[in-house]
Amino acid sequence: MVAGVAGRPVRHSLSPLIHNAWLAGAGIDGVYVAFSPAETGFAALVDGFRGGVVRGLNVTLPFKAEALALADQASDAARAAGAANLLVFREDDEVMADNTDGVGLLAALRDQADFQPNAGPIVVLGAGGAAQGTVAALLAAGAPQVRLVNRTRARAQALADFFGPKVSVSDWVDLADAQSGAAALINATSLGLAGGAPLDVDLTPLPATAVVMDMVYKPLETPLLAQARGRGLRAADGLAMLIGQAAPSFEAFFGQPPPAEVDVRALALKALEPNS
């Protein structure tokens, strides 16, 4: 059985490590490989996999929206996120799209920070693909209000228009006000990624009961998470989300949940070490 991940670049994806460790642990005769089609080559890749010889694909940047568009059927989660991170190739040639990033996000918040989205207003930084999926998952899980803050206001406004009155938009200069009374703050921008532009946020206005999550996981302990822990706030990291989205993908590919005894977080942490 073959499954994989498609992205560009895909070389540093941790998904092959995670899925192959689970396959070995479960004793399944299968393999999970990385594909990096040309910018214009994703549709041909998907067409070539129709029929189910390859069980399915996880999809990452920049193909997530195209994956949804190419599929014959899509889950509510994929439609609300406007993107698919999972394609399943059925034997009848149909391609099914799903989005398990939301499952991963909620698992990370629950398992690492004991947080449920109905706890109160949630500040989401960003308005790109990850932010759309995040807002969709939070609202579906009962978040009473989402406060979007993004560099490009128009992009945040477009998401607010898409999701309706539970989503409001604030400018970056008003971030302190947006944090007031919030139950959580989630970074869904690419800021804070190792080697990239830093995320400059002062968490002082957040209530002491709030939870902070960073979807960036390189480095794992981002300055945002370090600041949150320094304030005594509960925190959840992007690696927990990555593993959380991989679990339902594995089940969709191979027909059984991943083996609980395989510590894929420890393996991923080792792979994330600077010199590995």
Would you tell me which residues interact with ligand NDP (CB under 6 A)?
61, 101, 104, 126-131, 150-152, 155, 188-191, 193, 197, 215-217, 238, 241-242, 245
Q: Which residues are catalytic?
A: 64
Task: Tell me the closest approach of the beta carbon of residue 196 to ligand NDP, in angstroms.
Answer: 8
Cis-peptide into 165, omega within 30 deg? no
Cβ proximity to ligand NDP, 117 vs 238, nearer residue: 238
Task: Tell me the closest approach of the beta carbon of residue 162 to ligand NDP, in angstroms.
Answer: 15
Task: Tell me the closest approach of the beta carbon of residue 241 to ligand NDP, in angstroms.
Answer: 4
Cβ proximity to ligand NDP, 59 vs 210, nearer residue: 59
Cβ proximity to ligand NDP, 14 vs 45, nearer residue: 14
* Full 3-state SS string of the chain: CEEEEECCCCCCCCHHHHHHHHHHHHCCCCEEEEECCCCCCHHHHHHHHCCCCEEEEEECCCCHHHHHHHCCEECHHHHHHCCCCEEEECCCCCEEEECCHHHHHHHHHHHHHCCCHHHCCEEEECCCHHHHHHHHHHHHCCCCCEEEECCCHHHHHHHHHHHCCCEEEECHHHHHHHHCCCCEEEECCCCCCCCCCCCCCCCCCCCCCCEEEECCCCCCCCHHHHHHHHCCCEEECHHHHHHHHHHHHHHHHHCCCCCCCCCHHHHHHHHHCCCC
Task: Tell me the closest approach of the beta carbon of residue 208 to ligand NDP, in angstroms.
Answer: 26
Cβ proximity to ligand NDP, 53 vs 197, nearer residue: 197
Cβ proximity to ligand NDP, 30 vs 129, nearer residue: 129
Task: Tell me the closest approach of the beta carbon of residue 109 to ligand NDP, in angstroms.
Answer: 12
